[in-house]
Amino acid sequence: MLKRPTHSAVTQFIASILPPKTNDVPLLYHVPRHPRYNPDNALVEQVVLSITPTPGVYDLIGHPHEGTIVTADESSPIVLPRLPRTICFLHRPFDLERRRVRNGTLVLSSHTSFDEHLTVGWNAALAERLGMSVVKSLCVQGYKADAERKIGILGQVAMLRDLLLRRIKQEFGTIEHVQEGQSDEIRVIAIMNAFNAEEVDRVLDMARARTWIPSEPLYGRHVLYLTGQPRESGMLAAEEHGMTVVCVGHRIAEEWGIRRMATMLRLAFPTLQVREIYEEEIRPDRTPGPSDLSASC
């Protein structure tokens, strides 16, 4: 019989796919306060994954049977089932209402590292699914004040644009915006977590330095730039060089990451019940506290 994993085992696994960063939110975002809590022997039966804390998340990690009647009358009490031992993962945990988290529940989080590895950044799994060779690809690294931040992956393909667009739509379920470039033949894909004129030029310079694209007018026409949100400066620069741009949407990219995490957890821990929540957050009216360390951009 397979053993139940512990808090330590699940935490270490998530840290292995989302390496903690010094400028990120704490991985251990909300830790049980019981004096005898020990992550090495605290068992897990359920993992809840969400971008943000939502009503559906609180239904699964909140206090048991909140607001319900637990006895029909004095003579016939209702015996309520024990709720599963739970770990929750949140990508953007900043509005978590800690008082609503039931005792014994661990809340993990990753913001910057999740963006890097599981959205449209240095996403090796997505790159491979789109036909890129990760070992032969280039890392686009450094953004704003963070020289170590991986904001993209750049690699070669040999694919018609329409086929590539179909693959991207299959991965994300939808595409928010497409700006078609000057060629139907795509030779280079840039999966990028930033989109402005400077990053478009950096991608093109890197591809030209490797001779992946020719140094001639409209030399970006064989490049597809895959990102989240459309940005005017990025769109104008891409159009100038004949580049194709695909914007899947910021939240859609995050949801891809949640689905990927769910798949990896199910494979690593077959006994776990993995619950994915895809719904909008209802933001509480409150002032952020000192524990709400954000690397949001």
Contact 186, 164 (CB under 8 A): yes
CB-count exposure of residue 290 (10 Å: 0-12, 13-18, 19+): exposed
7 labelled binding-site residue = no
115 labelled binding-site residue = yes
40 labelled binding-site residue = no
Annotated binding site for a divalent metal cation: 115, 250, 254
Annotated binding site: 115, 250, 254
